[in-house]
Structure 1
Amino acid sequence: MLVIEYKIKAKQFQYRAIKEAIRTVQFIRNKSIRYWIDAPREAKIDRFALNKYSTELRNEFQFVKDLNSMAVQAATERGWQAISRFYDNCKSKKLGKKGYPQFQRDNRSVEYKTSGWSLNSTKRRITITDKKGIGELKLLGKWDIHTYPVKAIKRVRLVRRADGYYCQFCVDVELSDTQPKTGKEIGLDLGLESFYTDSNGHQEPNPKFLRKAEPSIRNAQRQIYKKKKGSNNRRSSLARYSKKHLRVSRQRTEHAKRLARHVCKSNDLVAYEDLRVSNMLKNYCLAKSIADASWYQFREWIEHFATKFGKSAVAVSPHYTSSECSQCKRIVKKSLSTRTHVCTCGCILHRDTNAAINILLKAKSRDGQSRSNANGVGTSTLLGATLVEQVLTLKLESPSF
């Protein structure tokens, strides 16, 4: 799967129409969850029942009927995804909260399937053909959607962000760019002192995008509360605040993308720790720094590029990678503040370098998990199935890398 994204240029009434369509999607999703909550216990509510319920909503509410029928179905499928995730967590006896479906308050996208839109045959323009009044939108971007057949476009999504509206195309194509073998292998130990340390001793600096932007973000947040509620000045201040967070998010993505591409292109085998980042974020002392490092995003891009380039990416268990000596395999206990590994066998290494070597050795001995599989770009929908059943949307990597 490939996701191509353009920025939208339109008139003010078209932006208002897109906003109305997005609010309608939120209304349908919330009504679907309410329908599931209020249903009798003996009633079987599945995605087919919710799709049938969407027809009732179209007959009852004119603003729902104005939205394309497949977009209405996609909205109910978003509700079913939240319900099915709750069921799966209960069946698997997940510890802690099971993720009971919640009503959405700030939906930011509307998704069309194979109808409700049409592409201009010569120009980068898309026309939304339902009765919401969106009309023809100009697409700004460097990618050419016309190089792909229209039948290969399985989803079209309009997304609202802090700096405007975007149009995403989910294209059913296989991504492959097999790179020549280099004969090199590398192990990566992720950390906070440095973004990662590899088995060759190289330490990639941690950019700390959020920490650097925090003074500006805090100032922008203070400006919001100085403005009167409901005023245009308050909305403008909120927009400036949102744009600063959006910039940090994009910096993290580009940083992870650039490093992952370089690592996968330069090595035949990339080994990394199978970290449970969600559990690590429960440490309130380090949660902000861990989130700022964006380890999980880096891992997903490694898996993506490894599959695209025909390389191997192996996730290994992180247990004892820091305490075990990479030479004699003796366990050397050390506190988190101890940054140098010193063993009685004479091995003296930086703590993270020792861990990276152990990660690589585990991967080579096949102690790790099976090779990562990242077939192209993950989208928020499964083709022919329910909407938003996968958790991440990755855009096509920048050509300048």
Structure 2
Amino acid sequence: MIILEFKARGKKAQYQSIDKAIRTTKFVRNSCLRLWMDNKRLSKYDLNKYCKTLAKNFSFANELNSTARQAAAERAWSSIARFFENCKKKVPGKKGFPKFQKHCRSVEYKQSGWKLSPDKKSITFSDKKGIGKLKLKGTWDLWRFDKNLIKRVRIVKRADGYYVQFCISVDVKEQLEPADATVGLDVGLKEFYTDSRGNTEPNPRFYRKGEKRLKFYQRRVSRRKKGSSNCKKAINRLGRQHLKISRQREEHAKRLARCVIRSNDLVAYEDLRVKNMVKNHCLAKSINDAGWYQFRKWLEHFGTKFGRVTVAVNPAYTSQNCSECGEIVKKSLSTRTHVCKCGCRLDRDQNAAINILKRALGTVGHTGTWIDRRSRYANVDPNASGDLTSTVLGSGQVQQVESLSEESPRL
């Protein structure tokens, strides 16, 4: 499954129609959630049936395509299902009880309500919202795919305009020659990551570099009268700057992950809970700016695509244990060199990366060079210290990886 994204070009009236469709999507989603809160025993199919009732009672809901209303109901059910799953797994802390959506930025159609032009350079939406024909601007080769492979079409509103996304059901796997190499990665704030061979990748710090500009646009927003047209323009300019930084961070993580996966047969990294780590207010900004989660999700995506093995291991004591003798050498965050009484002297991050790789190899029960395909390791000891993320089909991480597919044409 891949997602192709194009910039949508239209008139001002068409953009206003898209906004109406997005607001209707939010209304349907929140209405279905309200129905579930009043009747907790309802199922996914009951919410889909309720969409028909909403269309009868509200004319603006009837103007939206029926499959788009069903997609909105499915959004409500996905939040409900996630809540039940977290309760079943006994996730610590808040379980994520479904909330009403305040801001919605997309409307999704299934296999009806839209039609591609013969040259696939424009798309026409045929529901009663009045969106009409939108030109598609982009470099993706949409013409290579048959129309029947397109399962979903989504219109997304961002600070710099509107985009049309196509969800295409195709196999994105590629076969690579064995690289005869394994690597462990330790992510950090000083360096983006340090591998088990001692190589480092500098941390670009996109947010820190763009923070001065962000403050400038934020001051502009503060000076404008709330609700005025100038205030809306200032908010949009601030949003575009945030969007630029977000795209820089995502593209950087994507390119690094692809290079690492193509160069190694096994990639080991820490199973970090970034959501919990950012609760430390002293480091929250730096951790978010580093983009560790984006890097991990692209590692898993490319691991699935190229048939490589990615292993997330328990991060406990990877920095404290000696990679040579295994003794615990306690050190603070300011101590950047690992020195052990056994004579081992390494950079702190490289020592952690070596421990991560050893723990990953111990998890899968292999101690030599990794050249076999991941299918050989489907049966893993459940008491092992690591966690196979891209190797065991049916795990939660695989579903997360499959939702990722937006790749640059140059990747």
Mark yes or no: TM-score above 0.5: yes
Question: 1:17 corresponds to which letter in structure 2?
Answer: S
- 1:394 is aligned to 2:391: no
Find the counterpart in structure 2 of residue 326 from structure 1: 323
- 1:206 is aligned to 2:203: yes
- Distance, in Å, in 2 between the alignment partners of 1:392 and 1:96 is 27
- 1:108 is aligned to 2:105: yes
- Distance, in Å, in 2 between the alignment partners of 1:145 and 1:11 is 23
- Distance, in Å, in 1 between the alignment partners of 2:2 and 2:281 is 36
Find the counterpart in structure 2 of residue 50 from structure 1: 47
Find the counterpart in structure 1 of residue 191 from structure 2: 194
Question: 1:35 corresponds to which letter in structure 2?
Answer: L
- 1:4 is aligned to 2:4: yes
**Alpha-carbon distance, 1:390 to partner:** 5.8
CA-to-partner distance for each residue in 1:28-85, whole Å, 9 max, x for gaps? 111112222233x6xx212111111111100001110010001001111111222222
CA-to-partner distance for each residue in 1:361-386, whole Å, 9 max, x for gaps? 111222532252599xx9xxx9xxxx
Distance 1:177 1:392, change over 3 A: closer
Among 236, 239, 244, which residue is 1:242 paired with?
Answer: 239
- Distance, in Å, in 2 between the alignment partners of 1:320 and 1:27 is 48
Question: Counterparts of 1:30-45 in structure 2 under 5 Å?
Answer: 30-39=30-39, 44-45=41-42
Find the counterpart in structure 1 of residue 381 from structure 2: none
Distance 1:18 1:391, change over 3 A: farther
- Distance, in Å, in 2 between the alignment partners of 1:246 and 1:391 is 23
Query: RCO greater where, 1 or 2, for CA within 8 Å and sep 6 or more?
Result: 1
Question: 1:255 corresponds to which letter in structure 2?
Answer: H
Contact 1:304 1:374 in 2 (8 A): no
Distance 1:271 1:128, change over 3 A: same
- Distance, in Å, in 2 between the alignment partners of 1:390 and 1:204 is 26
- Distance, in Å, in 2 between the alignment partners of 1:374 and 1:368 is 13
Find the counterpart in structure 2 of residue 28 from structure 1: 28
Return 5+ residue gaps in structure 2 as ranges: 364-384
Helix, strand or coil at the partner of 2:387: coil
- Distance, in Å, in 2 between the alignment partners of 1:374 and 1:15 is 44
**Alpha-carbon distance, 1:92 to partner:** 3.0
Helix, strand or coil at the partner of 2:388: coil
* Overall identity of the aligned pairs, in %: 55
- 1:288 is aligned to 2:291: no
Question: 2:408 corresponds to which letter in structure 1?
Answer: S
Find the counterpart in structure 1 of residue 370 from structure 2: none
Find the counterpart in structure 2 of residue 145 from structure 1: 142
Helix, strand or coil at the partner of 1:365: helix
Question: 2:216 corresponds to which letter in structure 1?
Answer: N
Return 5+ residue gaps in structure 1 as ranges: 383-388
RMSD (CA atoms): 1.9
Contact 2:301 2:404 in 1 (8 A): no
Among 85, 89, 109, which residue is 1:88 paired with?
Answer: 85
- Distance, in Å, in 2 between the alignment partners of 1:363 and 1:35 is 46
Among 260, 264, 286, which residue is 1:263 paired with?
Answer: 260
Contact 2:3 2:405 in 1 (8 A): yes
Find the counterpart in structure 2 of residue 315 from structure 1: 312
Contact 2:301 2:401 in 1 (8 A): no
Consecutive aligned runs of 4 or more in structure 1 exceeding 6 Å deviation: none
Find the counterpart in structure 2 of residue 338 from structure 1: 335
- 1:70 is aligned to 2:67: yes
Helix, strand or coil at the partner of 2:185: strand
- Distance, in Å, in 2 between the alignment partners of 1:345 and 1:205 is 30
Find the counterpart in structure 2 of residue 175 from structure 1: 172
- Distance, in Å, in 2 between the alignment partners of 1:390 and 1:74 is 19
TM score, norm. by length of structure 1: 0.92
Helix, strand or coil at the partner of 1:36: helix
- Distance, in Å, in 2 between the alignment partners of 1:24 and 1:165 is 17
Contact 1:324 1:332 in 2 (8 A): yes
Distance 1:390 1:358, change over 3 A: closer
TM score, norm. by length of structure 2: 0.90
Contact 2:106 2:155 in 1 (8 A): yes
- Distance, in Å, in 1 between the alignment partners of 2:219 and 2:403 is 32
Question: 2:30 corresponds to which letter in structure 1?
Answer: N
**Alpha-carbon distance, 1:234 to partner:** 0.6
Contact 2:309 2:391 in 1 (8 A): no
- Distance, in Å, in 2 between the alignment partners of 1:302 and 1:315 is 11
